[in-house]
Amino acid sequence: MAASRPSVDFLTIAGVALSLLAVIGGNMLEGGHTDSLMQLTAFLIVFGGTLGAILVQTPLNVFLHAMKRFRWIFVPPQIERQQTLKKIMGWSKIARKDGLLGLQKVADREKDKFTKKGLMLLVDGNEPDEIRKILDVEIDSSASNEMNAAKVYEAMGGYSPTIGIIGAVLGLIHVMNNLADPAALGPGIAVAFVATIYGVGLANFFFLPISNKLKTLSRDLTQYQEMLVDGVASIAEGENPRAIQSKLEGYLS
């Protein structure tokens, strides 16, 4: 894809920091201690249980793809549509001057697989409708993969609150089994309530926002690919470069 150097999404970092600060700060303002929220047992129950449920639900290839896409949350793909429009305009001018075969060198230099495939279809002299059909299959497949990755995190956001309740029940069971030992009551109650916090917190501060962000990025990538398809197909149809530019400028908004 047309991209500059990957840049860190500082808004995501700020959101994560603000979420943690809100919970920890609110707890401290209420007179609580930070240590009371640091319960390894509760975390293991919630995170481990959620991960286990996802592994049962998700095929391995989808799970691995979702884990790879976690990087996009902090370093999203930089899609430069304005730069892509300029590239397409350059291709159209080359095609009008040297013919479609003149784009062979451009295709050889292209690093993005989707763009390279579109250019090669163009160089091979395929009809515009055929180019659209082939690349649309590519777009649908890519969009499906990205949405499946987003659904993994969405499912984790659904499981973690429920597993947090399981952790709470386990903590209460521990409390009930140790009513004769006052020293064991505090830790058991802490695990019970903190497990619920972890379950709800992980779902609403992390898993569900990650899912929604991946869906947004997937839609952006799909629109970028559709822009490329329209550009390549328009070149195949022999349209005037100015007409192509007018058509593709709608994607810039």
Whether 4 is covered by a domain: the verdict is no
Percentage of the chain modeled with pLDDT above 90: 58
Whether 70 is covered by a domain: the verdict is yes
Confidence of residue 188 (pLDDT cuts 50, 70, 90): low
71, pLDDT greater than 90 = yes
Domain that holds residue 216: 10-252
131, containing H or E segment: helix 128-177
Whether 1 is covered by a domain: the verdict is no
31: left (phi over 0), alpha (psi -120 to 50) or beta: left
Whether 121 is covered by a domain: the verdict is yes
Whether 89 is covered by a domain: the verdict is yes
6, pLDDT greater than 70 = no
The pLDDT of residue 186: 67
Count the domains in the chain. 1
Helix axes 128-177, 40-57, angle to 10 degrees: 140
Condensed to tens digits (0 to 9), the pLDDT of residues 124-143 reads 989 999 999 999 999 999 99
Whether 25 is covered by a domain: the verdict is yes
Whether 244 is covered by a domain: the verdict is yes
Least confident range from 68-82, 148-162, 170-184: namely 170-184
Whether 162 is covered by a domain: the verdict is yes
H, E, C per residue of 57-110: HCCHHHHHHHHHHCHHHHCCCCCCHHHHHHHHHHHHHHHHHHCHHHHHHHHHHC
What pTM was computed for the model?
0.85
